[in-house]
Structure 1
């Protein structure tokens, strides 16, 4: 067990909108994946271990891609997320194809993590500042009843190539998270940012904090997640598209009074790939960061 925080990487997503395994696609000047920048930032801000959550079918590809670069730099572990993970035989959905979602992915890492940990998406760039503030929180402030997320202003996390899904945050006077609504169709229209639902069009203020799935948890949260998962499964037995999300876990903990969530203001720079058209934008953004000296010419050189 390390006394440093662990980085948990959600890399099991299918990447259907992007059209392939974007988790292992190259974007940096030397073909680096977006994920490599997150791991690089985690290492230099004090994280001691990285745990990858992957599907069985991409496990060997991911190991070949990442292990040679990370050997000797940080402890590495691998966890498989499958449709059978943490699902009792009597609750299995024979026709299910869709993964169970981000909170289920986190639960799959229960036996691999015994210390405070951060959760990230494999295909999002979060920036060094975000790792610094969350690493500091996980090392000094986190408690079983106090977790955190890094907030990003909605205006900085849109795509020019289509709508995006974001967890839109509500905050209290202390700046803590009091609730989050997953909005699945957000885009800029003229000088406004709007979310379109089935029966509503909602305008969202430019500086509204949203979740980009960069969370910080005390390890005791696994017990809370497993309890909620055991309630979710039977309740959604006939819904083959139901998903168990991290924001659902956060909302439940906040509403029950079992835990609070700090919103940390480290989200200065974000970019990601939702659509294939996003790729050149990300390549250019990374090139600028290298040119500015934020990253060495070769990340692992």
Structure 2
């Protein structure tokens, strides 16, 4: 195990209710031994050198998460859990707001602050990023990260879409030096359905706007120092006040780096990756993800059994499918 006091931390956002997917996709099996997407992310993170993983979850998910991850990760990486809930008082907010889902990804990171005391990486539970992304982020966090310079991994937008519906992406504007100038969350991106069916568009106010194929987007693969939490906490009360009557408003991670970059508080290096992204937004995505993982296993990119000490399934049967 890496020294937990020095190696970067991996923060996995797994508190979503999976409203579009329809089940707890955080623990859905995709690999030969029903490995989850999270399993592959942690495998890549350990290989890259990360020393601790923090799962940000809803408290009611704790038993199933511990059952799925504690034994297989014991002795490999330090494991911690943080709860994302509706308690605003811990952020100094007395306002009572009725909501059915938590306040979004930036709120999730804030919820994990007690477990974060050094440079860290934030990822989604349901996105498969690939080893190259983790290695590049580890290298950045251990050699270049500070309160004035942080990072994100940039993926080409054309490689991040679902065939089965719209997706949300943080669209980046990047300067000549490779730093993010801004990141704008677009929540309704898809392949166009009009004359040019290959065009990538996002819809806003009932209008479609084209996005160039090679545009780099954030897939919520960020490299931060704890400074980001201080800034998020300073912005969150106004966000809650402005959105207390909007039950669907979310405090997205990209809004924090976007604010910091525009205010000159920090620079964010965009780390391009050769990793192939794929993810599960809709139930219909599952078979495609399973096949993609099978292909990587067949090529030897990943072992047939990530955790042979706990998984006893005959994975050879899977490879015959």
TM over 0.5: yes
Matches within 5 A, 1:85-100: 85=88, 86-88=90-92, 90-93=94-97, 95-100=98-103
Within the alignment, does 1:256 sit opposite 2:263 as a pair?
yes
Residue range with higher mean Cα deviation, 44-53 or 267-276: 267-276
Residue range with higher mean Cα deviation, 267-276 or 48-57: 267-276
Give secondary structure in 1 for the equivalent of 2:151: strand
Q: Deviations over 1:176-228 (max 9, x none)?
A: 11111211221123221111222421111111000100000012222111111
Q: Deviations over 1:77-99 (max 9, x none)?
A: 01000011535462121x22121
In the alignment, which of 276, 279, 283 is matched to residue 272 of structure 1? 279
Residue range with higher mean Cα deviation, 19-28 or 267-276: 267-276
Give secondary structure in 1 for the equivalent of 2:209: strand
- Pairwise CA RMSD of aligned residues? 1.3
Are the counterparts in 1 of residues 17 and 101 from structure 2 also a CA contact under 8 Å?
no
> For residues 210 and 262 of structure 2, what CA distance do their matches in structure 1 show?
25
Give secondary structure in 1 for the equivalent of 2:237: helix
User: For the structure 1 residues 236 and 279, does the alpha-carbon distance in structure 2 shift closer, same or farther, using more than 3 Å as the test?
Assistant: same
Are the counterparts in 2 of residues 126 and 267 from structure 1 also a CA contact under 8 Å?
no
> For residues 205 and 88 of structure 1, what CA distance do their matches in structure 2 show?
42
In the alignment, which of 98, 113, 118 is matched to residue 115 of structure 1? 118
Give secondary structure in 2 for the equivalent of 1:90: coil
Matches within 5 A, 1:179-198: 179-189=182-192, 190-198=197-205
Are the counterparts in 1 of residues 172 and 180 from structure 2 also a CA contact under 8 Å?
yes
- Please name the residue that 1:103 is paired with: 106
How many residues are treated as equivalent by the alignment?
A: 300
- Please name the residue that 1:41 is paired with: 44
The TM-score with structure 1 as length reference comes to 0.96
User: For the structure 1 residues 299 and 283, does the alpha-carbon distance in structure 2 shift closer, same or farther, using more than 3 Å as the test?
Assistant: same
> For residues 26 and 61 of structure 2, what CA distance do their matches in structure 1 show?
10
> For residues 68 and 278 of structure 2, what CA distance do their matches in structure 1 show?
22
> For residues 209 and 90 of structure 1, what CA distance do their matches in structure 2 show?
39
In the alignment, which of 45, 54, 63 is matched to residue 60 of structure 1? 63
Q: CA deviation at 1:300?
A: 1.4
The TM-score with structure 2 as length reference comes to 0.91
Gaps of 5+ in 2: 309-321
> For residues 41 and 139 of structure 1, what CA distance do their matches in structure 2 show?
16
Give secondary structure in 1 for the equivalent of 2:244: coil
- Please name the residue that 1:133 is paired with: 136
- Please name the residue that 1:74 is paired with: 77
Gaps of 5+ in 1: none
- Please name the residue that 2:234 is paired with: 227
> For residues 229 and 181 of structure 2, what CA distance do their matches in structure 1 show?
21
